[in-house]
Chains A and B, each alone.
Chain A
Amino acid sequence: LSRKQVVDRAQQAFLSGRSRPLGFRLQQLRALHRLITEREADIVAALKQDLNRSRFDTPLFELIGLENEIRLAESSLSEWAAPRPVKKNLVTASDDVYVQAEPLGVVLIIGAWNYPWALTLQPLIGAIAAGNGAVVKPSELSSHSSDLLKELLPQYLDKEMYQVVTGGIPESQELLRQRFDHIFYTGNSIVGKIVMEAAARHLTPVTLELGGKSPCYIDKNCDLSVACRRITWGKFVNCGQTCIAPDYILCEPGIQQRVIEGIQQTLMEFFTDNPKSSPDYGRIINRRHFDRIVGLMEGCTVALGGQTDSSECYIAPTVLTDVSPHVRLMQEEIFGPVLPIVNVSSIDEAIHFINRREKPLALYVFSSDKKVIKRMLSETSSGGVTVNDVIMHYTVTSLPFGGVGNSGMGRYHGKHTFDQLSHHRAYLIKSLAMESLNQARYPPMSPARLKRARFFMQTWLCSCRRLACVWAAVATMVALVMRFYINFRLNFMYTFS
C-alpha cells in the first residue's frame, strides 16, 4: 500500500462514523491495554535490542505510564466527551449554550526512538479517545520496536482506523505530503520545522514535542546529596536519551566538588563501578549518535567517566567540568550520558545564562530557599518545571506536557491529549420564539435601539452549575434560619401558655 492509500483508507474508516460512539472508543482503548499487558515480553525484548533496556526499565518508564493513561481515558471518557456548559448573557438566557469536543478526523502520529512505545502510543490513546482515525509512524531508529508495533497493532485495534507505517525519511516525506486533520510530532526542532511547513500547505494544526538543553540549577543552599542523587537518576536513565533529562548543571564553583562527589557516589550505587556490566545501564541508539556525543566531549575536562566502546555504542556515565559556554557541547542538546557542569557566580548569572538561550523543554531548580525558587521561576521560561527533582512533572497526568518556543508547541497527557486532538465546537441553540428581543439589532438603527442592544449584550448570567450551587446554598440557609426561628417562636409560646 502506498502512503496515500494508507491515509485514504484511514480517512474512509473515519468517515464511516464508527469511531464516534464512545462504546467503540472504549473497546479500542481496552484492546490497546491488552496489547500492552499481553505482549509485554515481546516489547521488552524489542527494547533490549534497540536500546539495551533492562526488563524492569521498560515497564517502569514506558508501559506503566501507558497503562495509567489508558485507565484514565477509559474512566473519564464520558466526562471528557460531554457538553461543557458556558456562561450566558441576557440575550441568550433561555438558550442552550455549550462547547463540545468532536473528532478532528485522521491524525498523523510521528513517534521518536528514545521511548518508542510511550511517545508513539500516548498520543494514540488521546487520538482514539477523541474519536479520530490515526496513522502511526514509529521511528525507524528503534527498528525492532517499530517492526513489532507494525505487527501487533493490527492484531488488537481496528485495522483500517489505526494504521502503522514504517520506514525512513522518504516514507515520512511522502506521508507529510498527504492531508491530515492534525499532525503530532515528537523529535527535534529541525525536523519539527519541516513538519510544520508541510502541515501549513494543508492548514493542518500541529503538536510539536521537541527538545532543547534543559538546565539544572543547583543552589548552594540545599541538601546536595539528595539533589545529586535525583539528578544522577534523571540524567543517566536511558543513557541520557530523554527529552527532559537535565542537560547541564549550573552551580557556583564553591559547591562543584561536592556535586561531583555526590554524583560519583550515586553512580556507584546505581550502576556499580563498572556500568558496562550493569543490566540497568543502556546504550546509545546507534553509531551515528555515538560518534556525535563522543565528538561533543572533545576538548572538555573529564571529572568522571569518559570511557567509550564503539562496538557496543557504550559511553560511560560522564561528568565534565570547567565547561565554557562557547564549546560545541553547549550549543546542541546532548541527548547522551554526558553531564557538563558550568560555573556561575550567582543566581543572577544563572538566570542570565538560561535566558540567553532558547526556551528549554524543562527547567530544574534545586534549592531549599523559597526566594531562590520564586526568582528562578518568575524570571525564566520553559515548557515545564520541576523543583527539587527531575523529570517528575512528566508523570502527573493533570499537568499539560509540552514545550514553548524552540522546545515545541501544543501539549498533551491525560485529558490534555484528548483536548489537543479534538475540535472544541461552540454551540448556540436558540428557538424561533421571542423575536421581539431581537428588535434592537435590526435596522433601521437608532440610538435608542443601540442602548437596548448594549444592555442585553453586556449583562452576564452565571453558567447553570454555579447558579444552581448558589441557589442551593441560599435555600439551605433560609431553611435553617426559618427552622431556628420557628423553634424559638414555639418555645416562646410554650413558655407563656
Chain B
Amino acid sequence: MSGMPVEQQVVARARKAFLTGRSKALSYRLSQLKGLRRLITEKQRDIADALRKDLHKSENATQLYEMIGLEGEIDLAVSHLSEWAAPRPVEQSLLTVADEVYIQPEPLGVVLIIGAWNYPWAVTVQPLIGAIAAGNAAVIKPSEVSSHTSKVMEELLPLYLDKELFPVVTGGVVQTQELLKQRFDHIFYTGNSTVGKVVMEAAARHLTPVTLELGGKSPCYIDKDCDLSVACRRITWGKYVNCGQTCIAPDYILCEPSIQDKVVKEIRKCIKEFYTDDPKTCPDYSRIVSLRHFRRIVALMEGSSVAIGGETDEAQCYIAPTVLTEVTSESKVMQEEIFGPLLPIIPISGTDEAIEFINKREKPLALYVFSSSDKMIKRMIADTSSGALLANDCLVHYTLSDLPFGGVGSSGMGHYHGRYTFDQLSHLRSCLIKKLRMERVNQVRYPPHTAQKLRWARLFLLKRVDVGQWRRAAQAVALVTLAAYVVQVRRPERFTSILYCTSYTFGFNV
C-alpha cells in the first residue's frame, strides 16, 4: 500500500472494511450511532472550545445551532432504524397478487462526506448519521477553513467510531482533489456552487451519485401589511446568527419604499436588544471565519449606503451587524451570496416586481415571505421556486426532521434530514419474489404470438385492479357480516328491522 497517496489508502481501507459486511447488521449500526451520541455529550467542552476559536461561537450557540439538532437526529435514527431498514411492501398488480413485492433498502458502500465550515458539526455529522444508519462506510472530510474543529474531529471520531469504516481525512484543496479522484458509492457535498460543479464532474467519471447542498441568495420579502416589529425581529435573528454565515440566512430584503424606514428602525431595535450597543463585546455575536472572507464581505459594501452598523475590525475579523440601503440589482452586494452580516434592502413597487426580481435570479435555497395575507403567500408559493419556502419566520424549517432539506437548480440537488438522509444514502432495491408455479398464466407472453394471446395480455395488464381496494372491500364485507350475525343473535327483531330499512332504501321489497 505504500507509495499510494494517503487518501487512496484510506478509501481502500474503508472499502475493505465495508466488504467484511460488519456494517450491515442493525445492531452494529446502532452501536455506532450511540457512540456518536456519546461523543457529542461527553466532549461538549472540546467541541465548544474549537468552535469558539474558529468562529467566536459561544457555547450556548454551539448547543442551540449544532448540538441539539444532531442529538435529535441521532435519537430519531436510533429509534426508527429497524423501521427504515425493513422491507417496504408496495401495491401489487393483478399479475403479482400471489407474489412478494417490496423495496429493500441496502447500503451503497463507501460514502464521501465533504463538510462545510459554518456549522462544521451539523453539516458534517448529520450526513454521517444517515450514512451509518444506512449501513455504509464513510470517509469524512471536514472543512479546513474551520481548522480547530476539523482537528478535533480527526482526534475524537476514531475514539468513538469504527476507525476503518469512518476515517477522517483533513487537509485542503490538494487533499480534497486527491479524494475526488477515488471511487465512491455516493458523494455528499455541502458548500458553494463553484466547487459543487467540480465535485459533480469528478463524480461523473465513476458514475457516482451526488447530493449537493449548495447556497445562493435567499430572498426575504416583507409585505407592507404585516406586523413589522415581529417580522423584523425574526429576520434580524435569522440574519445575524453565526454572523450571517448560514446557508439559509435571509440574504437580502425586498420591500416597498413606504415601509423601508420602519424596517430599518425595527432592525436597529432588535440588534440592540440581541447584541447590545456594542456587538463587538457581546459573547453571542460571532466573527467572520477568515481574513479572506472578511475582506470579501467588506468589499461588498462598496457603492451602497450604510443605514446601520458598517464598523469593521480586521484584527478580529469583526464586522458589525450592518444594514445597507440604496441597493440596486447591479450593486456589488447583489452579485454573490453575502454569507456575512450585511443586510441589503432593495425597494420594489409591489408583489409583482418582487416576484419578477426573484425569478430573474437563480433558484435560492430558501425563500422567506412575511405577510398576514394568505392570498399573498399563496401567490409567492405559486409563482416562484426555491429549495424551501417559509412564511413569517426564518431558518426554522431546518429543525424539522420530517421536512426534506435541500436545494433546486443552482442551490443544489438531493435532500436530507431524518429519514431522507437514510433514503438518500441507501439503494432502494426493487424485489419481486415469484414462485415457479402457475406457469399457465405466463402462456400469454410466450411466442408464437397471436391476436388472441394479445387480447388476454391486454386484459391482464390493463385491467386496473386496485388489489388493496378489493382487499379492503372484502374486509368490510366480512366485518358487516360479522356485525349482522352478532346483531341477529342478540336482537333478532333489530336485525329484521335493519334488513327491512336497508332493502327499502335500495328500492326492493323483502
Contact = CB atoms under 8 A, between A and B. Distances in A.
Interface of A: 20, 54, 56-57, 59-60, 64-65, 67-68, 71-72, 75, 86-89, 91-92, 97, 99, 102, 104-105, 181, 189, 192-193, 196-197, 199-201, 203, 205, 208, 210, 222-223, 226-227, 229-230, 233, 269-271, 278-281, 366, 368, 373, 377-379, 381-389, 392-393, 395-401, 404-406, 408-411, 423-432, 435, 438, 441-447, 449-450, 453-454, 457-458, 463
Contact of A54 (B385, B392, B449): B449
B486 interface: no
Nearest to B363: A423
B185 interface: yes
A104 B447 CA distance: 42
Contact of B430 (A57, A400, A457): A400
Given A222-B436, A385-B429, A396-B101, 15 more contacts: A56-B454, A59-B454, A68-B462, A200-B200, A385-B431, A393-B432, A398-B92, A405-B207, A406-B207, A424-B415, A426-B388, A428-B391, A428-B393, A430-B390, A443-B274
What's the dominant secondary structure at chain A's contact region? mixed
B434 interface: yes
Interface of B: 21, 24, 58, 60-61, 63-64, 68-69, 71-72, 75, 90-93, 95-96, 101, 103-104, 106, 108-109, 185, 193, 196-197, 200-201, 203-205, 207, 209, 212, 214, 226-227, 230-231, 233-234, 237, 273-275, 282, 284-285, 370, 372, 377, 381-382, 385-393, 396-397, 399-405, 408-410, 412-415, 427-436, 439, 442, 445-451, 453-454, 457-458, 461-462, 464
Contact of B108 (A404, A425, A444): A404
Q: Which 5 A-B pairs have the closest CB atoms?
A: A56-B449, A196-B204, A200-B200, A445-B60, A280-B447
B388 A427 contact: yes
Contacts of A406: 207
A464 to B, nearest CB: 12
A442 B274 contact: yes
Given A60-B454, A385-B429, A399-B430, A426 B403 contact: yes
A457 B132 CA distance: 23
A257 to B, nearest CB: 20
Given A427-B388, A443-B274, A384 B282 contact: no
B397 A396 contact: no
Contacts of A388: 433-436
A423 B200 contact: no
B239 to A, nearest CB: 13
A89 B410 CA distance: 30
A65 B400 CA distance: 39
A233 B462 contact: no
B434 A392 contact: yes
Contacts of B461: 64-65, 68, 395
Nearest to A63: B458
A410 B63 CA distance: 36
B372 A99 contact: no
Given A387-B433, A396-B93, A398-B91, A88 B400 contact: yes
A96 to B, nearest CB: 8
Given A87-B402, A203-B410, A71 B464 contact: yes
Contact of B60 (A102, A181, A233, A447): A447
B390 A428 contact: yes
B458 A64 contact: yes
A226 B284 CA distance: 72
B392 A229 contact: no
A316 B354 CA distance: 66
B429 A383 contact: yes
B207 A189 contact: yes
A362 to B, nearest CB: 9
Nearest to B108: A404
A271 to B, nearest CB: 6
Given A57-B449, A230-B442, A424-B415, A445 B61 contact: yes
Contact of A426 (B204, B382, B389): B389
A430 B392 contact: yes
19 contacts: A60-B457, A72-B464, A88-B402, A196-B200, A199-B204, A203-B193, A203-B200, A210-B207, A388-B436, A393-B430, A404-B429, A425-B388, A425-B389, A435-B233, A441-B64, A443-B285, A445-B64, A450-B60, A457-B399
B464 A409 contact: no
A107 B101 CA distance: 30
- Residue among A280, A383, A389 having the largest count of chain B Cβ atoms under 10 Å: A389
- Residue among B71, B432, B461 having the largest count of chain A Cβ atoms under 10 Å: B432
B60 A270 contact: no
A428 B393 CA distance: 9
B415 A278 contact: no
Contacts of A203: 193, 196-197, 200, 212, 214, 409-410, 412-413
Nearest to A56: B449
A408 B206 CA distance: 11
Contact of A229 (B387, B439, B450): B439
Given A200-B197, A435-B233, A409 B429 contact: no
Contacts of B439: 226, 229
B427 to A, nearest CB: 5
A405 B203 CA distance: 11
A389 B434 contact: yes
Nearest to A388: B434
A457 B72 CA distance: 8
A430 B430 contact: no
Given A280-B448, A392-B96, A443-B284, A91 B431 contact: no
Contact of A458 (B68, B433, B436, B458): B68
Contacts of B390: 427-430
Contacts of B90: 396, 398-399
A89 B389 contact: no
Contacts of A102: 385
B93 A397 contact: yes
B372 A432 contact: yes
B430 A401 contact: yes
